[in-house]
Structure 1
Amino acid sequence: MRGVFVDANGSLADIFERQNKAGDPPVRVNRDADIKAEQMPGLLDGAEIVIIDHTPLPTDVARRCTGLKHVVFLGTGARSYMNPEELGELGIEVHLIKGYGDTAVAECTIALMWAAARGIAQMDREMRAGNWLREDGMQLTGKTLGLIGFGGIAAEVARIALGSGMKVMAWNRSPKNFAGVEFVALEKLLAESDVVSLHLLLNDETRGLVTAKHIAAMKPGVILVNTARAAMVDEAAMIAALKSGHIRHAGLDVFNTEPLPADHPLTKLPNVTLSAHSAFRTPEASENLIAAAWQHCRRIAKA
């Protein structure tokens, strides 16, 4: 059984090759992170396993990947790049990797929250332009952080936020318990949170979950942080709320179009802090990610 890591950037390729052990299934590493979906059939050349970091795999392209039986997706957000159900009908199983970057994403969430609260990015931009911008920030100690979704990442966010003196409440689709966190209805969370942060997987149930009505129900002057998936939020309603000031500031690591176009409305708003879908990018998380990918390959080869 053969595999191909089709879109490895330099650092992931190095880690992948270093973690290769004797007896592992043969996996060829393609050190070109900018391939197009249409190149996939030729790059796989009949391989049964494909490891994908960020390249889309449309169903019509997968149909032309002769021999392909397994997709090892480096993360949890495969639905942003492919349709797992349609691939399943073709006999292709999609394998996800969870938990590898919980701490990394949580720390980025906290960083975006603090940057938003104090206007760090805006002051930086203004000072580089020769302007001495000084505005009051939001003191977060004693404020309420509302977490929409409560998996491993949210648990790490809660741990850090509780340690910094914040109150934490959460809404989850299934019952959860976590020391110090109050689990509440979504309506209560939206109405009472000074900061709202998203931590759900994207699927048919969560796509478009945060509607214009939900945004309007948020506390005036709220900070919104999204390190999950952009498609869960009504982007037009969010932008309107940012322009009106109903949302004080948004810290965003994920976008409907990536890379984010330079002329996108979000790039024109002063009360938005942007990061390039990089919340998970730390050496520690990358090591965990690739180790899990190898575990998938080894298990598949032995099946």
Structure 2
Amino acid sequence: MPNLNRLGILDDYQGVTLALGPWDRLPKTLGIQVFRDTITDQEALAARLAPFDALLIMRERTPFPRALIERLPNLRLLITTGARNRSVDLDACAERGITVSGTPSHGHPTVDLTWGLILSLLRRIPEQERGLREGRWQVALGNALEGRTLGVMGLGNLGSRVARVGQAFGMRTIAWSQNLTEERAAAAGATRVDKPTLLREADVLTLHLILSERSRGILGAAELAQMQPGAVVVNTSRGPLIDQAALIAALKEGRIAGAGIDVFDQEPLPPDHPILAAPNTVLTPHLGYVTEENYRTYFAGAVEAVQGYLDGRPVRELRPG
């Protein structure tokens, strides 16, 4: 039967992994080591990870390209939280006989955060809260959601959930994506429109697309120029969906009213990143999936993945293609 000696757990930012998973179900002989920092230097990262024959990675916090995988001669099991991970080179893993397993996850926390950002922007909650703490009372005017237009770019599982919440707020909901049909839009209570109409009419534009070469930079300078000056953009999907330089320019020039951003082109976000100085923003550190419920589900799934590997029956395998 397969055997494992050392499990490395990467990018445990909050230091909670061992407290939230049923790790006591694993063999006592399996050594577990947790790392709370993110290493971006490939040479230093390879040196850290080389001794491990099993690794648990948290989503895309640390990418696993071919160049890194080929420098990990002992690696036999790679577990990623979630059902897929586009930052892992599955071809390289398959070529080296590395089993890659995913875990169950919940999508609804991202919906929660999306609406947290929308409400924060339109009602200007962070600004009002900061003013109150500084001894000022009612420092700005907010905007109500009812009667406004919610534009959803990407009406899959999460986008559809976001759309339904918008309807509960009394918002008109329109949607667009490259393969969206009128029937699918209607099932989510939305109206399918073309991309220019989505950009032109949305008071709130929220992105819910999978990152791919087709969707990378799908909201750029040309698209931002078509939006209303009073509109806001929300992104809880993937940073590269938006041209961040174009977004920052639009915010600084007042061509849109604000942005709520949970995902960035570089993560963790460096302290000198220009988006931190952009006006009218609510920024969060990629919190869409970061809830206790999701973490418990992730880590229970990770334990199952180790057990399945040791039993010779891998679970939730991720394969190339």
Report the TM-score when normalising by structure 1: 0.85
Pairwise mapping of residues 258-269 of structure 1 onto structure 2 (< 5 A)? 258-269=267-278
- Cα distance in 2 for residues equivalent to 1:238 and 1:298: 45
Q: Which runs of no fewer than 5 residues in structure 1 stay unpaired?
A: none
> Which residue of the partner structure matches residue 37 of structure 2?
34
Q: Deviations over 1:86-118 (max 9, x none)?
A: 5455554654456x2311110000010000001
Moved more, 109-118 or 273-282: 273-282
Distance in 1 between the 2:208 and 2:84 partners? Answer: 12
Whether the 8 Å contact between 1:150 and 1:199 is mirrored in structure 2 is: yes
Which secondary structure state, in structure 1, belongs to the residue aligned with residue 144 of structure 2? coil
Higher relative contact order (CA 8 A, sep 6+): 2
Please give the secondary structure, in 1, of the residue aligned with 2:16.
Answer: helix
What do the CA deviations read for 1:148-198 (whole angstroms, capped 9, x no partner)? Answer: 112322222123222221222222343435241223322221121111111
- Whole-angstrom CA distance in 2 between matches of 1:107 and 1:137: 20
Secondary structure class of the residue paired with 2:34: coil
- CA 1:293–1:202 in 2, change beyond 3 Å: closer, same or farther? farther
> Is structure 2 residue 123 aligned with structure 1 residue 118?
yes
Q: 1:277 aligns with which of 260, 267, 286?
A: 286
Amino acid at match of 2:297: N
Aligned match for 1:45, one of 26, 44, 51: 51
Unpaired runs of 5+ in structure 2? 315-321
Map 1:161-176 to 2 at 5 A.
161-175=166-180, 176=184
**For the Cα contact (< 8 Å) 1:74–1:97, is it kept in 2?**
yes
**112-121 or 52-61: bigger deviation:** 52-61
1:66 aligned residue: 73
**140, 155, 178: which one pairs with 1:150?**
155
Structure 2 CA distance for partners of 1:270 and 1:284, relative to 1, 3 Å: same
Structure 2 distance, partners of 1:168, 1:119, is 22
CA contact (8 A) 1:253 1:279 kept: yes
User: Are residues 180 and 193 of structure 1, via their aligned partners in 2, closer, same or farther at CA, if it must alter by over 3 Å?
Assistant: same
Matched, 1:187 2:196: yes
Counterparts of 1:203 and 1:96, CA distance in 2:
20
Residue 302, structure 1, aligned to residue 307, structure 2: no
User: How far does the alpha carbon of each residue in 1:28-82 deviate from its partner, in whole angstroms, 9 at most, with x for none?
Assistant: 43222215353456546351x4211123334322112114344322236733x44
- How many residue pairs get aligned? The number is 298
1:224 alignment partner in structure 2? 233
Listed one character per residue, the Cα deviations across residues 235-284 of structure 1 (whole Å, up to 9, x for unaligned) are: 11111111122221101111122232333222223300111111211111
Counterparts of 2:194 and 2:298 in 1: how far apart (Å)?
33
Deviates more, 1:108-117 or 1:188-197: 188-197
For 1:219-241, what per-residue CA distance to the aligned partner results, in whole angstroms no more than 9, with x for missing partners? 33111001111111011111111
Q: Percent identity?
A: 31
> Following the alignment from structure 1 to structure 2, what is the Cα–Cα distance between the partners of residues 90 and 219?
51
Partner residue of 1:239? 248
C-alpha offsets along residues 137-158 of structure 1, whole Å, 9 cap, x if unaligned?
Answer: 1211121111111232222212
103 and 84 in structure 1: CA distance in 2 versus 1, 3 angstrom threshold: same
Q: State the AA in 2 paired with 1:196.
A: L
- Does residue 15 (structure 1) correspond to residue 20 (structure 2)? The answer is yes
Name the CA distance, whole Å, in 2 between partners of 1:75 and 1:203.
17
CA contact (8 A) 2:150 2:171 kept: yes
